[in-house]
Amino acid sequence: MKVLVVGSGGREHALCHAIARSPLLDKLFILPGNAGTAALGTNVPGDPKDVAAVLDFARREAIDITIVGPEDPLAAGIADAFEAAGLRIFGPTRAAARLESDKAFAKQLMRQYAVPTADARQFTDFALARQYIATRDEPVVVKATGLAKGKGVIVCDDPADAILAAEDMLVKRVFGEAGSEILVEERLLGREASLLAIVDGHTALLLEAAQDYKRLRDGDQGPNTGGMGSLCPSPLVDSGTLRVIQQQILVPTLDALVREEIHYRGVLYLGLMFTTAGPKVLEFNCRFGDPETQAILLRLRSDLLEILDAATTGRLDQVSVSWDPRPSLCVVLASAGYPEAVQTGAVISGLPAPGEDLVVFHAGTKRVGDQVVTNGGRVLGVTALGATVEAARQRAYAAVEQIHFDGQQYRTDLGLR
Binding pattern for the stretch 145-174 against ligand AMP, x by CB under 6 A and - elsewhere? -----x--x-x-------------------
72 binds ligand AMP (CB under 6 A): no
> For residues 58 and 216, which CB has a smaller minimum distance to ligand GLY in the complex?
216
Distance from C-alpha of 329 to C-alpha of 410, rounded to nearest angstrom: 13
Q: Does 212 bind ligand GLY (CB under 6 A)?
A: yes
Nearest distance in Å: CB 24, ligand AMP: 33
Sole window of 182-190, 255-263, 283-291, 302-310 interacting with ligand GLY (rule: CB under 6 A): 283-291
Within 184-291, residue ranges assigned H as helices are: 239-245, 251-259
Label residues 175-213 b or e (16+ Cβ within 10 Å = b): beebbebbbbbeebebebbbbbbbbbbebbbbbbbbbbb
CB half-sphere exposure, 13, CA atoms < 13 A: 28
Q: 81 vs 148, which CB is nearer to ligand AMP?
A: 148
Least distance to ligand AMP, CB of residue 141, Å = 4
What crossing angle do the helices spanning 103-112 and 251-259 adopt, rounded to 10°? 100
Burial (CB count within 10 angstroms: exposed 0-12, middle 13-18, buried 19+), residue 150: middle
Instruction: Kindly provide the residue ranges of all beta strands, DSSP E only, lying in 178-319, ordered along the sequence.
Output: 182-186, 191-199, 204-206, 211-212, 215-217, 221-224, 229-232, 266-275, 278-285
Nearer to ligand GLY, 151 or 315 (CB): 151
Comparing CB distances to ligand AMP, the nearer of 118 and 267 is 118
Q: How far is CA 320 from the centre of its chain?
A: 23
Question: What minimum distance in Å lies between the beta carbon of 31 and ligand AMP?
Answer: 26
376 binds ligand GLY (CB under 6 A): no
Binding residues with ligand GLY: total (CB under 6 A): 6
User: Which one-letter amino acid corresponds to residue 413?
Assistant: D
Length of the chain counted residue by residue? 417
Q: Is residue 5 a contact partner of residue 29, using CB atoms and an 8 Å limit?
A: yes
Q: How far is the CB of 231 from ligand GLY (least distance, A)?
A: 12
- Does the protein bind ligand AMP through residue 64 (CB under 6 A)? no
To ligand AMP, the closest distance from the beta carbon of 155 in angstroms equals 5
Applying CB under 6 A, which residues contact ligand GLY?
A: 212, 227, 285, 289-290, 292
Q: Which residues bind ligand AMP (CB under 6 A)?
A: 118, 141, 150, 153, 155, 185-188, 192, 214, 271, 282-283
